[in-house]
Structure 1
């Protein structure tokens, strides 16, 4: 990788941008192991991990002016195409593990389309259509030739060599004079919690800082689990017992306007529709139809009872104990 543009970015990142790059390198220690393992499992080059450094500086809650979010800066449409949940309750673009799996799948598809990792990274930035159009107009699949043409944006032309530069630095920070602290990844446990669990109330009941729950579950951007189904919540390993006891004691109260234990059924009123009921409770039409054994064309009538939470009305102690695992 002796390309002059890569060398330009190496000099910039070790010079005027050194402080920022050192911050990013230290932040990367929390995620690099997980990202590399995910890429390995998908049969992809581990150095693709450094794409996230240029995309977000390894900030899992980064948000761009255009609305892209997370480590991998997914737009909502692309995120949904790759299996991430993005709705009024959950934004899995902010979940480092799930968004990394989605990014790996996206890179795999881009490589299949273009047959080059440089082109795949260019398409990750600019979109497949723009890169395919540039290839057609220039009649070359060499990224560096494309970068010398006028058919790619300056941002995309710089995106690829910038990634290669931080990859060189990230492989051997000491060589470039960066101080990167050792990092021991904190351990977490997963607890299954009821629908509409309020993280604020849970933190008070369990004696756990709200910031800790939000840090482990950044996808819950409203600090509340979704209504309609149980949710696997991440908690610090040392706090699992306290959180579990708070849940079992029913101390994680739900917020207003969402489903409580006492209300698992909605009584249909005049002129209500399945879509309107789903919107009211923050659910999907598909879930309501499935939970209530409705066909897509079935009509609902005033007085009909519509289940709005996917758990039995007579939950037993065994069910409740299953919230903690």
Structure 2
């Protein structure tokens, strides 16, 4: 939020003994009793309830190939998302694709009626809505197609949270234009996660952000926080579109804009909170009145048209030439409470799940481990919570974490620290995705040091996270091949295709050499 459009339950936090056994909260999904997730609590509050999942999955549970899903998400994550959106170019509106709405409600209309709880119909023909319809079907088509495949996993959970907080359910599509439903999206302004919270706003709505946990990446907690934030803004302004604008630009900016509207609409120049409930006269039309003024930046002016265009496509993808959404199981899980610091790779081993699957369920643990000195909730696949609990109870405390923490001292380097612990420099880098590629570290900085239990699968997943949190330069024209790079991986990162890179660089095969220079654009093209 509050930055250019790019591509961004309860944790048990009570201090406890390291010798205790975890408890398990079976998912209501597994029990066939869906329930809403409680709101996030402030850091260091005691865990009073285990979080639940949102959508029913009929037993027996059919597990998807989450390793494959994780690779797809990483390949299509924030860097490529950011590149696609940064590549927004001029588009010519095409009125032939203006949506058709039905009003009669008769039997003949049953197959064409599309219901909305936000006012899409009134503004569907707006020139900027048409502009973004063209963009998402043209330059942004590849990324939009990927974002649409992410929607089914989270849609039921998001709609439920919106409904619980009195927000129109169709605001689910706000996450599409914020992050493409990516939990690892990070903007240039460091807004993070599916709902692109800045640190301050996230903490204001109960999200933990520290060196171990970033709840902005947690799809459940961040969604609950976003729904409450949108509800507050909607109550303040009396309009969901003004609320959306405030979500992007800040409430103060929108308030000042409303006060600057012409004097003959003075009754609309105050925010709803200033006027009281009986005087809430703002409506969605007020956003479009602001659109035609200088009070909002272009980014915020285009925010609602983007939302409407994305919603039109997401609700009827086949009408706009996109494939129907895939049959992906919704976001569902069992909850295990671990009493002390525990590695996600350990939970994966005990649960029988892959590390990628546990990581996908728990993206908030940025060090791949729960925080030290307190209990924490870890999500596991539906149906394996009890098994994981029993296995954990038999696990010695010394085997709960597969790495050490090193505090950097004056004069130390990454390579020197790696030698001290008998691991490679690359392993230390992969375990610390926030360390810049230059290797620059500072005195007092905490580094994760992998031990023998830190297996190759864990390292690979962390390396994938590393690549997703560093978006490439929007104007990059040449790329230097690094160890481990593949042509397809570079193409995905920069929002292009392997075949296009081969053509631009005159390559006859996909083989690359470390240090090789690749042109990312053909001569004369713009970023």
- What TM-score comes out, normalization by structure 1 length? 0.74
Please list the CA deviations of residues 84-136 of structure 1 after superposition, one character each: whole Å capped at 9, or x if unmatched: 11112211111111111100110011111111111110010001111111222
Partner of 1:57: 180
Moved over 6 A (4+): none
Per mean C-alpha deviation after superposition, the further-off stretch among 7-16 and 147-156 is 7-16
Partner of 2:198: 75
Quick check: 1:176 aligned with 2:320?
Answer: yes
Partner of 1:253: 400
Match of 2:304 among 160, 163, 168: 160
* Structure 1: gaps spanning 5 or more residues: 259-278, 280-325
- Decide whether the 8 Å contact of 2:157 with 2:331 is kept in 1: no
- 1:125–1:186 CA distance, 2 compared to 1 (3 A): closer
Partner of 2:251: 128
Partner of 1:31: 154
SS of residue paired to 2:220: helix
Partner of 1:237: 382
- Decide whether the 8 Å contact of 1:202 with 1:246 is kept in 2: no
User: Greater share of helix residues, 1 or 2?
Assistant: 1
Partner of 1:212: 357
- 1:157–1:34 CA distance, 2 compared to 1 (3 A): same
- Decide whether the 8 Å contact of 2:347 with 2:358 is kept in 1: no
Per mean C-alpha deviation after superposition, the further-off stretch among 77-86 and 11-20 is 11-20
- 1:117–1:195 CA distance, 2 compared to 1 (3 A): same
Q: Displacement, 1:205?
A: 5.2
Match of 1:116 among 222, 232, 239: 239
Looking at structure 2, the residues matched to 7 and 256 of structure 1 have their Cα atoms a distance apart, in angstroms, of: 54
Looking at structure 1, the residues matched to 215 and 165 of structure 2 have their Cα atoms a distance apart, in angstroms, of: 20
Q: Displacement, 1:48?
A: 0.7
Looking at structure 1, the residues matched to 350 and 234 of structure 2 have their Cα atoms a distance apart, in angstroms, of: 48
- 1:232–1:22 CA distance, 2 compared to 1 (3 A): same
- Decide whether the 8 Å contact of 1:205 with 1:246 is kept in 2: yes
Q: Which has the higher contact order (CA 8 A, sep 6+)?
A: 2
Looking at structure 2, the residues matched to 246 and 199 of structure 1 have their Cα atoms a distance apart, in angstroms, of: 14
Match of 1:147 among 291, 295, 298: 291
SS of residue paired to 2:302: helix
- 1:152–1:69 CA distance, 2 compared to 1 (3 A): same
Please list the CA deviations of residues 277-325 of structure 1 after superposition, one character each: whole Å capped at 9, or x if unmatched: xx9xxxxxxxxxxxxxxxxxxxxxxxxxxxxxxxxxxxxxxxxxxxxxx
Match of 2:333 among 183, 188, 192: 188
Q: Displacement, 1:242?
A: 4.6
* Structure 2: gaps spanning 5 or more residues: 1-122, 263-268, 270-281, 407-443, 445-527
Q: Displacement, 1:220?
A: 0.6
Looking at structure 2, the residues matched to 186 and 73 of structure 1 have their Cα atoms a distance apart, in angstroms, of: 19
Q: Displacement, 1:206?
A: 5.0
SS of residue paired to 2:337: strand
- Decide whether the 8 Å contact of 2:344 with 2:355 is kept in 1: yes
Partner of 1:291: none
Quick check: 1:225 aligned with 2:370?
Answer: yes
- Decide whether the 8 Å contact of 2:351 with 2:385 is kept in 1: no
Looking at structure 2, the residues matched to 178 and 18 of structure 1 have their Cα atoms a distance apart, in angstroms, of: 9
- 1:117–1:228 CA distance, 2 compared to 1 (3 A): same
Please list the CA deviations of residues 134-193 of structure 1 after superposition, one character each: whole Å capped at 9, or x if unmatched: 222234661112112222111111111000111111121122121022222264211111
Q: How does 1:261-280 map to 2 (within 5 A)?
A: none
- Report the aligned-residue RMSD: 2.2
Please list the CA deviations of residues 221-247 of structure 1 after superposition, one character each: whole Å capped at 9, or x if unmatched: 111111222111101125435532331
SS of residue paired to 2:260: helix
- 1:41–1:71 CA distance, 2 compared to 1 (3 A): same
